Structure 1
Amino acid sequence: MPVTDRYPRLARHVAARFNPDEVFGLHLTLGAIALVVTMALFGLLASDVVSGAPITVLDEHLAQWFNRHAHEDWIPLMFGVTHLNHPVGLMVMSALFVAYLRRRGAHDWMAAVVLAVPGGMLLNVLLKYTFQRARPGFDEPLVQLATYSFPSGHTSGATLFYGVLAAYLVMQWRGAAARALVLLGAAVMVALVAYSRVYLGAHYLSDVLAGVAVGCAWLAICITGISTLRRRRAAQAGRTPGEMSDQDRSHH
């Protein structure tokens, strides 16, 4: 006897979790998977940092290598990237994005941005004070910061801002090429911010990797939560998620 016949309720439950039209369907399953994977990665990095695992040796070697080989032509560019994506800069860009969304009447996405970016930055500060990791030390540092190092706030903030921006654009644009370009652009921006922080000696490699991981985890919570609320309202109004998306696009 097939498993689906022996356990019909379980089969229906599993099928619903992978149904893109269900309120608690595929989007929630993918969000949960993303959350588990990214939090597991962050937990692994945090454990390695606390225990002094081999990655901390790699951290130190890379930090010293970049400090010795930093080229004077690249330093201004790296400072430009890191200053643009300072938490203040990201908050300004987020405020402009929220203003745009307000003009378009995209209130759910406004909530997603507010929850993701400022909320994720606050979470990052709490994690810094939890782990209290000192920043890289050099004889001739390019930057000197008194705050803690793990995880990287710039990298986490960039992951949150460019991540939620990419998610919004992906939902608005139907073309596969356009969506792929948006995701690639967001990934490049996050990678560039992470690289600038290591290049300037502000963070170790594990700091920026942890920043990406915790940013992705918080982003998964925010976007999945907002999406679920939107789908519930659509279901109560007698619309399918597909009809909801089409109607939302008509406002933009």
Structure 2
Amino acid sequence: MIEKLNQLDIHVFLWLNGRYTPWLDPIMIWITERNSWFPLYALLIGWLIYQYRKQAIGYILTIIFSVALADQIASSIFKPLVHRLRPCHELALQTFIHPVMECGGQYGFVSSHASTTFALAASLWFMLGKQHPWLRLGFLWAAIVSYSRIYVAAHYPLDVLAGTGVGVLSAAICVLILRTIQARSGRGRFV
């Protein structure tokens, strides 16, 4: 069963990675680079502070803890435990893949990019989605960043899907902790 799932994952990866076009390569490299998104993070922090003043501290810390938790679960637990090679490190796939940048670390399960971007998107949605329905666009952003990891041959689809789950779960845990702290301090639930 696991072998069939692995073969299906490789097959889907090869199909997705094979849908490249040269003009899209630099765009996907930009999307997949973590530093590309620092202006977005700065805007997000500024918006939270402007919109929520003192409450912003709790929201920002919840996002930071959520992203950090997702990253640690992906990088410090799953990758060393599972030891699944990234597709760009898999010798049998080298002639079939389209890598567009350096491969990165040896192991890829689960995707840290997927876990951290979905942790950020889910944290915002869980905390503020009722007041700001446009925050659902964060999930589209996280999906595009996650897809870029398949495009650049750094991850299989299941690496990304598992990373998505880790990110959403991390966000749910951290938001639950924030709600518990707010309830105990008498501040009530989110506005």
TM-score by length of 2: 0.79
Are 2:30 and 1:80 aligned? Answer: yes
Find the counterpart in structure 2 of residue 228 from structure 1: 180
Instruction: Determine the C-alpha separation between the residues in 2 that align with 1:131 and 1:61.
Output: 20
Residues 84-130 of structure 1: CA deviation (Å, up to 9, x unaligned): xx2x5567755664566456212321321221112321221112111
Unaligned runs of 5+ in 1: 1-47, 247-252
Are 2:70 and 1:120 aligned? Answer: yes
Structure 2 counterpart of 1:105, from 54, 64, 67: 54
Segment drifting more, 138-147 vs 54-63: 138-147
Structure 2 counterpart of 1:155, from 114, 118, 135: 114
| TM-aligned CA distance change 1:226 to 1:90, over 3 Å | farther
Residues 21-77 of structure 1: CA deviation (Å, up to 9, x unaligned): xxxxxxxxxxxxxxxxxxxxxxxxxxx7xx43x221122112222343311122222
The structure with more radius of gyration: 1
Instruction: Determine the C-alpha separation between the residues in 1 that align with 2:49 and 2:127.
Output: 13
Unaligned runs of 5+ in 2: none
Instruction: Determine the C-alpha separation between the residues in 2 that align with 1:123 and 1:95.
Output: 25
What's the Cα RMSD here? 2.6
SS in 1 for 2:18: helix
Structure 1 counterpart of 2:19, from 60, 69, 74: 69
Structure 2 counterpart of 1:213, from 159, 165, 175: 165
Are 2:92 and 1:134 aligned? Answer: no
SS in 1 for 2:23: coil
| TM-aligned CA distance change 1:120 to 1:223, over 3 Å | same
Residues 185-220 of structure 1: CA deviation (Å, up to 9, x unaligned): 122112111211112211001000000001111111
Q: How many positions carry a matched residue from both structures?
A: 179
Report the CA distance between 1:170 and its aligned residue: 2.1
Find the counterpart in structure 2 of residue 24 from structure 1: none
Instruction: Determine the C-alpha separation between the residues in 2 that align with 1:187 and 1:100.
Output: 18
Residue identity over aligned pairs, in percent, reads: 26
Q: How does 1:1-252 map to 2 (within 5 A)?
A: 51-52=2-3, 54-83=4-33, 86=34, 88=35, 94=41, 97-98=44-45, 101=48, 104-106=53-55, 107-126=57-76, 127-136=78-87, 137=90, 138-139=94-95, 141-143=99-101, 144-170=103-129, 173=131, 178-179=132-133, 181-183=134-136, 185-234=137-186, 241=188, 245-246=190-191
TM-score by length of 1: 0.62
CA contact (8 A) 2:67 2:119 kept: yes
